[in-house]
Amino acid sequence: MPFAPSSMHVESPAFAPNGAMPRRHSAEGEDLSPALSWRDAPAGTQGFAVICHDPDAPLVKDGSYGYVHWLLYNLPADVTSLEEDTTLGTAGVNDGGAIGYGGPMPPEGHGVHQYYFWVLALDTLTGLPEGLTQPELLNKLEPHILGMSRLVGTYRRD
């Protein structure tokens, strides 16, 4: 993913920055995507995409490391928040092979993992099909990224 920092700010009512994510958002719990909101998108933003990635996961796939938990795209510029277990947007395939959100579930004994919820501001509203993988999605989005920001949550398996 290209690095395009911006002044955009991402937050969640479910957890503080670098704070522990509630069990309800994990695969051990209800496996619900957390509510997110963002503000101060770059000028010219026409759409958004959200990616949740665990860089601490011991997985290398398609030349990338970590584990993709969520790909959500085709979000118009007037969407600046997502409710818990959102039905907005179009979902891609997570690294578990399912469409949509797949919550944290670090390997047993692996300690605390970090979960990066990236929000990408785009210069266009995308109309991409459901079920893209992270490499496919990034290939389509990279030329359109105006800025990005992230919220990091943590989770430790019980």
Confidence category of residue 56, pLDDT binned at 50, 70, 90: confident
pLDDT at 60: 60
Annotate 66-105 with DSSP letters as a single string.
SEEEEEEEEEETT--EE-TT---SEE-B-TTS-BS-----
Q: Is residue 3 part of a domain?
A: no
pLDDT tens readout for residues 91-116: 999 999 999 999 999 888 888 999 99
The Cα–Cα gap between 35 and 94 comes to 18
Return the amino acid letter for 135.
Answer: P
The Cα–Cα gap between 87 and 65 comes to 28
The Cα–Cα gap between 110 and 103 comes to 16
pTM here is 0.93
Asked if 108 and 157 count as a contact pair (C-beta separation under 8 A), the reply is: yes
Q: Is residue 1 part of a domain?
A: no
pLDDT at 158: 74
Structure tokens at 64: 């990338």
Q: Is residue 114 part of a domain?
A: yes
What three-state secondary structure class fits 143?
helix
Query: How many separate domains does the chain show?
Result: 1
Q: Is residue 144 part of a domain?
A: yes
Structure tokens at 104: 């944290």
The phi, psi pair for 35, rounded to 5°, reads -70, 140
Annotate 9-46 with DSSP letters as a single string.
EEE-SS--TTEEPPGGGSTTTT-PPPPEEEE-PPTT--
Q: State which residues form the domain around 73.
A: 9-156
CATH number for 93? 3.90.280.10
